[in-house]
Chain A
Amino acid sequence: MYQLTTSTSIIRLTDNACIPPDPANRDYREYLEWVDAGNTPEPAPEPPAPLDPVELTPVEKLAASSLTIEELKQLLGLN
């Protein structure tokens, strides 16, 4: 049993080894024989959804900007 990847490599599911598409590689030749025998590899896995970015709190955003409250007030003309 094999599984395709998003690249040209093949995953051998019995041991999860990654096989390159090199005709000199015995594992790849065995894969081709397996396909020639009428078998079909499993498709490449669907890429998972990207993780949501971490939502910072207002205090964390202020800390990340290195501004003090007084400096922020000054910038906004609130003094």
Chain B
Amino acid sequence: MSQTTAQLVSEINGGSISGTRNRIINGAMAADQRNAGASQTFTAAAALAYSVDRWYGYSTGANVTGQRIQGATVGQFYYRFTGAASVTAIGFGQRIEQLNSAELASTTATLSVDLANSLLTSVTWTAFYANTADTFGTLASPTRTQIATGTFTVTSTVTRCSTNISVPAAATTGIEIVFTVGAQTSGTWTIGNVQLEPGTVATPFERRSYGLELALCQRYYLSYGDFHIGMNGNTNAQGDGAFPVQMRASPTLSYTDTSGVANQVSIWSGTFNSSTFTNGGFAASTLRVVLDASTSFSSGTSSWLRAYNVKLSAEL
């Protein structure tokens, strides 16, 4: 085997032209379990808020809105922020867990992204690694170390931008990529097809099937829908289900009753009725909702309960 062939095989198996080379999940912004394409408001100076799957946003100075938008063809999307008066900065980032990024340490990686901005002419990119495994901290108190930063020159037309990043040996604890703009006081900022891949070559965006991409996202966030809970007597109820994929960690759970009231479930007894029962605990490897035995559900009535809008988050 010649050296050239050996190099080619190496590239195919683990390099820049290998499959699933993109360490960014949902780089095409296709999966949007939280908002299903609806607009989201990012509150100024608040904690980072997750938006399209795996991506978070934040703003300073004033609130901004963001929304997944349709691209040129069906199945192609971008994420777009709309500026507002007094905005001083907007950020959009993704935290990549240790298991999916540690092998990039001590190598050169390449970051690529489609960008456009109708007001500003530069977008800053910054790469970090977590100080401890998968722990990046908060916006107010980050626990991460900067790897590198730079700027992309952008116009109002979507343009592909890329840069090489020398990933240090210590970056085995998870990597965070953040794009930021300054005073987006009007106009729009558009982002799409983000890719972080091993090697020095910016290859074309790796387009994975929607089903695969959604499954990758569900490790971090799951919109479960409605969930039935069986009653055990009048004061105890439990419901169990399975996650479509193993979640990254025990997830934070939220649900509503049929009226949309958070942390309440509805009782079936001819009609759905709002209840006032507080969640008593749950396990995380599988979906389990346990309603506390200290509360009576109804008097002498065998029935079942239903939690609506069940959502689970194990984001980084």
Contacts and interface: CB of A to CB of B under 8 A. Distances in A.
Interface of A: 5-9, 11-12, 15-22, 24-30, 33, 45, 47-48, 50-54
Given A6-B294, A50-B296, A22 B249 contact: yes
B280 A15 contact: no
B166 interface: no
B298 A7 contact: no
Contacts of B314: 24-25
Interface of B: 134-135, 138, 141, 234-235, 248-254, 262-263, 278-284, 290, 292, 294-296, 298-300, 313-316
A56 to B, nearest CB: 10
B295 A30 contact: no
Contacts of A22: 249-250, 284
B292 A47 contact: yes
B284 A11 contact: no
A18 B263 contact: yes
Contacts of B281: 5-9, 18
A50 B234 CA distance: 10
A18 B296 contact: no
Contact of B299 (A5, A9, A51): A51
A40 B200 CA distance: 50
A24 B99 CA distance: 14
A16 B248 CA distance: 22
Nearest to A3: B278
B279 A20 contact: no
A20 B295 contact: no
Nearest to B95: A26
A25 B290 contact: no
A18 B252 contact: yes
B300 A54 contact: yes
Nearest to A49: B296
A16 B254 contact: yes
A30 B299 contact: no
A55 B281 CA distance: 33
Nearest to B279: A18
B290 A17 contact: no
Contacts of B292: 5-7, 47
